[in-house]
């Protein structure tokens, strides 16, 4: 019985696997873009709003920014490749990509005002 069901669900599962991977790549890329605009802000002397990423002088602590973003992306890849919730991860990844995109736009707007 299981052998009869598995071929029927395999194409749909494969579709969501690749969609999940694409949205994860988008989320990691958007996170990297946020890090780049954060660095540009640091060079321009912009104060970091996030207290977890703020250096004592008020600008971004880039070691923390890069470390946190790399760890988040790496942990996401590791956990999602072992999970079975491709649809849920696709939604989460899409939300993360949009969220980091909004933050990147915010950073760019601040840099444009300087």
DSSP 46: P
User: Given this model, what pLDDT does residue 85 score?
Assistant: 93
Q: Residue 10: exposed, middle, or buried by beta-carbon count in 10 A (0-12, 13-18, 19+)?
A: exposed
Give pTM, 2 decimals: 0.84
- The one-digit pLDDT tens for each residue of the chain (114 residues) are 344 444 445 566 677 899 999 999 999 999 999 999 999 999 999 999 999 999 999 999 999 999 999 999 999 999 999 988 999 999 999 999 999 999 999 999 999 986
Please say whether the beta carbons of 37 and 107 come within 8 A: yes
């Amino acid at each position: 019985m299981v052998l009869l069901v598995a071929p029927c669900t395999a194409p749909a599962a494969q579709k969501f696997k690749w969609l999940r991977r694409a949205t994860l790549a988008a989320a990691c890329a958007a996170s990297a873009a946020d890090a780049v605009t954060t660095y540009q802000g640091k060079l321009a002397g912009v104060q970091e709003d996030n207290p977890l990423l703020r250096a004592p002088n008020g600008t971004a602590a880039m070691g923390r920014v890069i470390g946190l973003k790399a760890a988040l992306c790496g942990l996401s890849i590791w956990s999602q490749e072992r999970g079975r919730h491709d649809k849920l991860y696709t939604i989460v990844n899409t939300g993360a990509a949009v969220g980091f995109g909004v933050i990147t736009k915010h950073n760019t707007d601040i840099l444009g005002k300087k």
